[in-house]
Amino acid sequence: MVPEVPVPGVPATIHLTLDGRELTARAGQSVGAALTEAGIRSWRRTRHGGRPRGLFCGIGICYDCLITADGVPNLRACLLPASDGMQLTSTGSELTPTTDGGVA
Amino acid sequence: MSVQRSGVAKQPAYDVAVVGGGPAGLAATAAAARLGRRVVLIDAGAQLGGQYWRHANVSSAGPHDHVGHRDWEVFEALNERIRRHRQTGAAVHVAATQVWFIEPPGSDAGEPDWTLHLAPTCGAPDDRMPRTVRADRLILCPGCYDRQLPIPGWDLPGVMAAGGVQALLKGQRTLAGKRAVVAGTGPFLLPVAEQLARNGARVVAVCEASRIGNWGRHLPTVARTPSKFAEAASYGWSLARARVPYRTGTVVMRIEADSSGEQVGAVKLGRLGSDGRLRESSESLDVDLVALGWGFTPALELVSAAGAETRVDVDQSLVAVVDEEQQSTVAGLYIAGEATGVGGAQLALAEGELAGIAAADATHLERSRVRALRREIRRLRAFAVAMQRSHPVPPRWSEWLTPETLVCRCEEVAYAQVSEATSDLAATDARTLKLLTRCGMGWCQGHVCGFATATLAAAGQARQLNAEDLRPLAKQFPCAPIRLGSLLEH
Amino acid sequence: MIGAGAVGAACAYFLTRKGFAVHVVERGAVAAGSSSAGEGNLLVSDKVSGPELELALYSRALWEQELAQYGELWEFESKGGLVVATSAQAGRALRTLAAEQRQRGVDARDVEPDAVTDHEPHIRRGLAAAVHYPQDAQVQPMLLTAHLLRLARAAGAVVSTGVNVTGFEVQASTESRRVVAVQTSQGTLACEQVINAAGPWAGEIATMAGVDLPIRPRRGFVLVTEPLPPTINHKVYAGEYVASTQSEHLGLEVSAVIEGTKAGTILIGSSREHVGFERRVSLPVLRAIASAALELFPRLAGVTLLRSYAGFRPYSPDHLPVVGPDTRLKGLWHATGHEGAGIGLSVGTAKLISQAMAGEGTDMDLAPFSPARFEAVAPA
C-alpha cells in the first residue's frame, strides 16, 4: 500500500468486523477502503439476480456499496468512516414486525 | 406519533450559501467572504477539497499526501483564507452534509430567502447539526462524476469508475487492484493510470476510444492553454516511463469474471474504425481492476430542484444555463464549476470566484478582477470545448451491448428490456423508457445509467439526444436519499 | 381517440375488437399524463354504493376474466385492500360503509382490531376497526397502457404521439352540429367519431369543440421508498380516504395510503389539491403525507425515501366519470373524469363505449355518466 507516516496520538490500526469476520483498518480510512485492502470486493447481493456488488463509483453517487454498520442500514461504504469496534453486516434494510405496540 | 422534532432553533439567514467544497465552491466562499458577506459553505465531504483535491483524513495524514495533487498550493491558500474567515465568523463550514431539498424564495415555506434542507452524508442526524439553512443568495457548485456507459460485465466487482479508483488512492491511500486496465475516453484517464502505476499497480493498458488526431483541429486553442498541454505531457511521460501502453481507438468491449465468477478476471478489447464501427479484436487482457470513465456528468439534482434552466452541452451532458455573472435563469441563484459545463478545476476556480463576487453584489466594485476572470473563463471554456470535441462518447457504443448487458445497475434492467420498450411498447422518450423499464428508478436515481438510458431512448427514435431526454433522468426530489422520518424534522 | 393514457389505450383496444378503425393522437408520449403518476389502483373498497361502484365491479370482472391472459404483462396483482380506522367514530363509519358495500356484492370482511397484524405485521397496534377487501387489486399503469396500445396496434390501430389537437371541423345543419374531422399539429384527421380521453386536460379539448366540460386537475403527490423485501402486503389506507375522494373541499386533503409494489418500493400517498397544473414540489404537502403514513406504520420512519412524483387527477365536480356521447355535438364522446380511479375503471369504461358506439346494448347503463348532466352549464 501507499507509504504512510503514523501520527502521534492516533491509533494506526482499528478493528472492525464484517458479518463476524475480523478486519483491521487504518485510522481515517473509509469502510470501503478497509474492505478493499482486506481483499473483500463485494458485500451485498442484488435483489433480483443475486449479483455481487461492492465499490463502483467510489464517491457516493452510485449506492452500489451499501452496507449496514452497527445496525444502521443503507450506508455508503465508500463514504462511511471506519471506526474501532464497528460491526458491519451485509444485509440490507428490513423492517422488524410490530410486537411492542408499534411505536418506533 | 414517533417523529422526533429537533430542538435546534431556526438558523438565522446568511447572505450567501455555497453548496459544494470543491474548487468552485471554495473560490466562491472565499470571494464572497472577502467582500464582507456572511457565507455558509455546505459540503458533502468530511474535508474540503471536493473530488479534485480529495486527500487523506488530515487527522492521520502523512507528510507526502499531497504528492500527485495538482495545484495543491492553490487549495492550501484557499483553505487558509476560508479558515481565517471562519475564525472571524464571516464563514461557516457545514461538513459531511448533503442538501436534500432546496426551496426557492417565496415558495410554500413562506420564507423570503432560499431554504436548504440538510441531512448528514452518513448515518442519522445528530442534534447539533442544523436541519435547514437560509440564505439570501445561493451558489451551487455541485461538481461532477465519471460518466458511464454500460459494457457487458460492467457490474462485476473490480470494475470501478476511474474517479473512484483515484478517490481510493487520493483519499484513502488504497490501491483498488494490482493489475489494471484504464478505459474510456478523455485526458482524465492519464492521471488515473499514472497514479495507479506510481503506487505499485501494473497498468496493462490505457484504452482511449478517441484518436489523438482529433486534437489536430484544435491546436490554436491548445496553444492558448499551455498549462493543460504541459499537464498532459507530464502524465504521458510518467506512463511511458512505467511502460504503460496507451492505445487509441481502442475500447474495452466485454468484461469477464474470473474463475470464482464473483469478480473481474479479464477484458476483451475492441477497435473502433474511422467510421466509428466496432471491430472485436482477439485480444484479451487478464486484469483484476477495470477503471472506466467517458468524460464527466455534472451533478444536476440541486440545479433541477431549484428550477434553473438546463441545456445540452457539447459533450452531451445536461448543464445549467448561466449568464455572464454565473447567475442561472432563477434570480439569486448562481452556479459555478462543472455544473455549467465540464471544464476542469482551473475553470471552476474562475467561475466560483466570479459567482462569489456577483452573489456579493460587488461586480461594479471589482471591475478589473471581473474582467480578468471572464477572460480566463472564455479561454478555459474554449479549451474544454476542444477537449470535449476530441474525446466524444463513441457514437456507436451500443454495438458492444448484448441482450443481457445491464443498462441500469440498481434495478438490473437488461438491454433486451430497453430494446423491447423502445420498439414494441413505443417508448419514444427517456421518461417513458424509464417508467416502462425502471431504468434510473433505483437507489442511484439515474446518476449512473441516466446518460445511457437517455441516449438509447433517442437512438430508438433515430434522433439526436436532446435536453428533454436528459431532464427526466436528472433527479429532483429528494436531491439525496433521506429517511422518511427525517422528512418531518425541521 | 384523443389521449394515449390508460383510458384512451383501453378504448383503442376494445374499439379495434369491435372492428372500428382507430387513430390515437397523443400530445406527449404514451401514458405521459395521469396514467404515469398514480399507483395503478383497481379498487372497489373506496367506492360508496352507486354507479361508480357498479362500474368498478364491472371493470373488476373484465380484469379477472376477459383480460386475465395479459395480467402478467401489466403486473396485475390481486393483493387486496385493508382499510383501517384509528378512531372509534371513523371505525363506526367504516363498518357502516362495508355493510352497504356488501349489499352491492363487494367482498368486505370485518377484521377484529387484534387480528390486524395478522394481515399487516408492521402496522401500529390499537386500531379501532379494519376491513379487508380481497377484490382490491393493482396493475403497473405504464405497462398496462403500453401493452393495451401494442395490442390495439396489432389489431390495426394507429398511434401518433407528439401530436397536438388544435381544433375540430364541424358540419352544421339546421338540426344539429356534427364533428367531421380533428385538426392536429400534423394535419387534419377525418373521422366519424371522436373520443375525448384527455384526462385532466379533457376540459381544454371540449372547449376546442365548443362544449363545456367541467373537468379540472386535482393534484396528488406520491412518495417512493427504497426497495425492500416484501413488507406491506395490501393496499392499506385510512378510512378517511373515502371521505377525501368524495369531498368537495377545494383546499389540501391528505389521507394515508400505503402499499408495496412488485419492484419492492413502497408507495405512500395521498394528497388532493386544486392548484391547476402546478408541478413544483410542495414540502408541506409531502410532510403531511409522510406524517399520516407514519401514524399507521411508525417503523417506516427509518426507511429511505428515494423519490416522489406528482400527477393530476381528472376531477369531476360530482365525483362521477364522464362517459358517453355529447349530445351537443354529434360524433363527440367523452371518457374522462375518473379522478383517482381511472386505471381501474379504464377497461369498463372502454368496453361500454365500444358497445355503445357499435350501437349494441351496453352491459351497464351509461346514463349516470352521461355528459348531458353538465349541459345546462353555459360554456365558460
How far apart are the CA of B438 and the nearest CA of chain C, in angstroms? 9
**Burial letters B194-210, b for 16+ CB under 10 A, else e:** bbbbbbebbbbbbbbbb
Over residues B245-292, the pLDDT tens digits come to: 999 999 999 999 999 999 999 999 999 998 889 998 889 999 999 999
pLDDT above 80 for B10: no
What is the Cα–Cα distance from B240 to C173, expressed in whole angstroms?
87
Which of A93, A94, A99 should one mutate to test binding to chain C, selecting the residue with the greatest count of C CBs within 10 A?
Answer: A93
Same domain, yes or no: C232 and C354: no
pLDDT above 70 for B48: yes
Helical segments of A26-104, H only:
31-37
- The pLDDT value recorded for residue C54 is 97
For residue C11, the one-letter residue type is C
- The pLDDT value recorded for residue C339 is 95
- The pLDDT value recorded for residue B214 is 78
According to DSSP, the residues that pair with C179 across neighbouring strands are C170
- The pLDDT value recorded for residue B137 is 97
Q: What is the dihedral of CA B20, B22, B28, B30, to 10 degrees?
A: 110
Which triple of cell numbers denotes residue B66?
Answer: 499531497
Evaluate whether residue C210 is within a structural domain. yes
Are B481 and C226 inside 8 Å of each other by CB?
A: yes
| Count of C-beta atoms within a 10 Å radius of residue A91 | 12
Evaluate whether residue A100 is within a structural domain. no
Contact A10, A27 (CB under 8 A): yes
In chain B, list all ranges with CATH 3.50.50.60: 14-145+297-365, 148-294
- The pLDDT value recorded for residue B438 is 96
Residue C235 sits in a domain whose CATH number is: 3.30.9.10
SS3 B160: strand
Secondary structure element (H or E) that encloses residue C197, with its range = none
- The pLDDT value recorded for residue C301 is 94
CATH class of B14-145+297-365: alpha beta
Q: Which domain holds residue C25?
A: 6-70+141-215+318-374
SS3 B127: coil
Evaluate whether residue A75 is within a structural domain. yes
- The pLDDT value recorded for residue B56 is 86
What is the Cα–Cα distance from B254 to B179, expressed in whole angstroms?
17
Are B263 and A80 inside 8 Å of each other by CB?
A: no
pLDDT above 80 for A5: no
* ipTM of the complex in this document: 0.94
pLDDT above 80 for B65: no
Evaluate whether residue C60 is within a structural domain. yes
Q: Specify the residue for cell string 433480483.
A: A48
How far apart are the CA of B274 and the nearest CA of chain A, in angstroms? 31
Q: Which domain holds residue A27?
A: 13-86
How many beta-carbon contacts under 8 Å exist across A and B? 147
For residue C232, the one-letter residue type is I
Residue C36 sits in a domain whose CATH number is: 3.50.50.60
- The pLDDT value recorded for residue C376 is 63
pLDDT above 90 for B218: no
SS3 B311: strand
Q: Specify the residue for cell string 381501474.
A: C344
Domain count, chain A: 1
Residue A46 sits in a domain whose CATH number is: 3.10.20.440
Q: Which residues of chain B make contact with C149, given a CB cutoff of 8 A?
A: 425-426
Q: How many residues does chain A have?
A: 104
Which triple of cell numbers denotes residue B189?
Answer: 484517464
Q: What percent of chain B has pLDDT over 90?
A: 81
What is the Cα–Cα distance from A36 to C151, expressed in whole angstroms?
50
- The pLDDT value recorded for residue C137 is 97
User: What kind of architecture, by CATH, is found in domain B148-294?
Assistant: 3-Layer(bba) Sandwich (3.50)
Domain count, chain C: 2
Is the model more confident about B490 or about B90?
B90
pLDDT interval class at B7 (50, 70, 90): very low
- The pLDDT value recorded for residue B127 is 77
Rounded to a whole number of angstroms, the CA Rg of chain C reads 21
Q: What is the mean pLDDT of residues B128-148?
A: 94
Q: Which of C302, B122, B47 is nearest to A83 (CA)?
A: B122
pLDDT above 50 for B1: no
Q: Which residues of chain B make contact with A72, given a CB cutoff of 8 A?
A: 123-124
Measured between CB atoms, does A46 come within 8 Å of chain C? no
SS3 B221: helix
10 Å CB burial of residue B219 (0-12, 13-18, 19+) is exposed
Is the model more confident about B240 or about B373?
B373
Over residues B175-205, the pLDDT tens digits come to: 999 999 999 999 999 999 999 999 999 999 9
Evaluate whether residue C380 is within a structural domain. no
Evaluate whether residue C256 is within a structural domain. yes
pLDDT above 90 for A28: no
pLDDT above 60 for B11: no
Evaluate whether residue A78 is within a structural domain. yes
Same domain, yes or no: C62 and C92: no
What is the Cα–Cα distance from C49 to C69, expressed in whole angstroms?
29
- The pLDDT value recorded for residue C249 is 63
Evaluate whether residue C75 is within a structural domain. no
Q: Which of C11, C21, C34 is nearest to C339 (CA)?
A: C34
What CATH number does the domain located at B401-473 have?
1.10.10
Over residues B415-439, the pLDDT tens digits come to: 999 999 999 999 999 999 999 999 9
Cα distances (angstroms) measured from residue A61 to each of B117, B142, B302, B448, B487: 19, 12, 14, 8, 21
Mean pLDDT (chain B, rounded): 92
pLDDT above 90 for A83: yes
- The pLDDT value recorded for residue B4 is 33
Q: What is the mean pLDDT of residues B159-185?
A: 96
pLDDT, averaged per 10 consecutive residues of chain C (380 residues), comes to 98 98 97 94 94 97 97 96 94 95 97 95 95 97 98 98 97 90 97 98 97 96 95 92 68 92 93 93 94 95 94 96 96 97 98 98 97 70
Q: Of C296, C315, C334, at which residue does a domain stop?
A: C315
Same domain, yes or no: C228 and C201: no
Same domain, yes or no: C98 and C222: yes
For residue B376, the one-letter residue type is E
* Cβ contacts of B404 within 8 Å, gap of 6 or more: B152, B414, B415, B416
* Spatial strand order in the sheet of B289-294: B159-161, B289-294, B179-185, B202-208, B246-248
Q: Which residues of chain C make contact with A94, given a CB cutoff of 8 A?
A: 228-229, 231
Evaluate whether residue A23 is within a structural domain. yes
Q: Which of C110, C144, C124, C113 is nearest to C40 (CA)?
A: C144
φ and ψ of C88, to 5 deg: -60, -40
SS3 C193: coil
Evaluate whether residue A31 is within a structural domain. yes
Which triple of cell numbers denotes residue C196?
Answer: 375525448
How far apart are the CA of A78 and the nearest CA of chain C, in angstroms? 18
Secondary structure element (H or E) that encloses residue C168, with its range = strand C165-172
